Structure 1
Amino acid sequence: MIMDIVLKYFSDFSETQLKQMQALSSLYQEWNEKINVISRKDIEALYEKHVLHSLSIAAVADFPAGFQVLDLGTGGGFPGIPLAIFFPDVQFHLVDSIGKKIKVVEGVAEALELKNVTTAHSRVEDIKNRKFDVVVSRAVAPLKDLWRWSKPLLKKAPAHEQQPGLICLKGGDLTQEIADSGCRPRLTNIYKLFPEEFFQEKHIVIVNK
């Protein structure tokens, strides 16, 4: 089965979620022929390099029903689309400054009938009058910038709660990037969650509110 790599680590899917996950492959292949959002090489490894990578966030963070999550610089819909399938009771707002990418995201979300996804063709700095519980992102900018953009958009957390504010997926040596950011993030090596070669240098970076 094409999505075996996902089922190896996540098995508790409803019938609807399974169908939605299975549909991702043909949907992205179809869209990619019109608008190239995923490299040819990666589309063949979609479930490992994009879907499972996105779901690593679900392995370390639980989003309660009703949570509002912003996917900053969503690109072709990652991590937002897989997370929206995984958390059907959580609202996801997927934003990208490149219009053709948002067109793909809208097409995929519509085909999957994801009622918990909204989209915007917008720069993150232009989002006004909205607050989110969590911001997620995948390697779109240095941590310093991601945190600067996220902070004004986050709801205030109760003083006693250590709630994640920003959860981003990054690769490689992050020592300098973290030093430059002035943040004190928690890092999880994804390889420890999913011992597949692809994840060896990949991390989940969590900055609390």
Structure 2
Amino acid sequence: MTSRHDLQTQLEHGIAALGLQLPANAVERLLDYQELLARWNATYNLTAVRDPAEMVTRHLLDSLAILPYVRGETLADLGTGPGLPGIPLAIAAPGRQILLVDSNGKKVRFLREAIRSLKLEGVRAVQSRVEDVEGQFDCITARAFASLADMLAWGGHLLTKEGIWLAMKGKRPDDEMPGVPAEFELRGTHALSVPGLEGERHLVVLGRASSQAGC
């Protein structure tokens, strides 16, 4: 079993490799979240990742890798599962209003317990299908839960006129680009280097098409 000290060292090195500077208590709180997830995962099977060190890489550092691209006062994390990337982002950059959305009841119960026990201010969780969520957000994150076309068809109504959509993918999804609805446009594709993670990771940044954004 990997000790918390070893996990802390791994996480701190990963954060440094990403070039991030986080609040003073962020590492402790991220590890508290990882411990809570591991504890619940033993009973509720919230994630296929079971090894704590792998959780640090595949959950915490993978989520933090998109932090430089997050902006705005409000964020919705769609298909968040056990809170990824929403909870790590809330810990790393507090002060933003964050909505965690998932249709799975046991995952949402975990999210609410994580929000309570970690004292995550401004964060709330809702059990819902994406298409039924109301409101608008400056930033939307989605971690490969669907194709770009489906993501935007189900959740595009949630994006403000000037907002950005951050879609986390493995391989660069060039084959999905033609399916992006006409009212949205590609703003950029970024290859992400997640410390300790083998395989490709890409972030696709989308926004409302210029003709739409000014409406």
Instruction: State the TM-score, normalized to the length of structure 1.
Output: 0.85
Q: Does 1:189 align with 2:191?
A: yes
Instruction: State the partner residue of 1:54.
Output: 63
- Contact 1:42 / 1:49 at 8 angstroms: preserved in 2? no
Instruction: State the partner residue of 2:99.
Output: 93
2:25 to 12, 16, 34: 16
Instruction: State the partner residue of 1:82.
Output: 88
- Contact 2:75 / 2:137 at 8 angstroms: preserved in 1? yes
What is the CA distance between 1:111 and its match in structure 2? Answer: 1.2
Instruction: State the partner residue of 1:118.
Output: 124
**Amino acid corresponding to residue 87 of structure 1 in structure 2:** A
| Aligned alpha-carbon RMSD (Å) | 1.9
Distance of aligned partners of 1:187 and 1:173 in 2 relative to their CA distance in 1, 3 Å threshold? closer
Instruction: State the partner residue of 1:161.
Output: none
Q: Does 1:150 align with 2:155?
A: yes
Q: Does 1:35 align with 2:34?
A: no
- Contact 1:69 / 1:93 at 8 angstroms: preserved in 2? yes
- Contact 1:71 / 1:79 at 8 angstroms: preserved in 2? yes
Instruction: State the partner residue of 1:167.
Output: 166
Distance of aligned partners of 1:203 and 1:52 in 2 relative to their CA distance in 1, 3 Å threshold? same
Deviations 1:155-182 (A, max 9, x none): 222xxxxxx5210110124121122225
Q: Does 1:63 align with 2:51?
A: no
| SS in structure 2 at match of 1:89 | coil
Instruction: State the partner residue of 2:139.
Output: 134
**Amino acid corresponding to residue 12 of structure 2 in structure 1:** L
**Amino acid corresponding to residue 15 of structure 1 in structure 2:** A
Distance 2:187 2:148 in 1: 10
**Amino acid corresponding to residue 114 of structure 2 in structure 1:** V
- Contact 1:94 / 1:119 at 8 angstroms: preserved in 2? yes
Moved more, 24-33 or 11-20: 11-20
| SS in structure 1 at match of 2:82 | coil
Instruction: State the TM-score, normalized to the length of structure 2.
Output: 0.83
Moved more, 6-15 or 91-100: 6-15
Distance of aligned partners of 1:179 and 1:5 in 2 relative to their CA distance in 1, 3 Å threshold? farther
Distance 2:96 2:49 in 1: 31
What is the CA distance between 1:142 and its match in structure 2? Answer: 0.3
What is the CA distance between 1:93 and its match in structure 2? Answer: 0.2
Distance 1:136 1:178 in 2: 17
**Amino acid corresponding to residue 121 of structure 1 in structure 2:** Q
Moved more, 10-19 or 85-94: 10-19
Distance 2:80 2:157 in 1: 19
Distance 2:42 2:28 in 1: 22
Aligned length: 196
- Contact 2:75 / 2:97 at 8 angstroms: preserved in 1? yes
- Contact 1:72 / 1:135 at 8 angstroms: preserved in 2? yes
Structure 2 gap segments, 5+ residues each? 1-5, 209-215
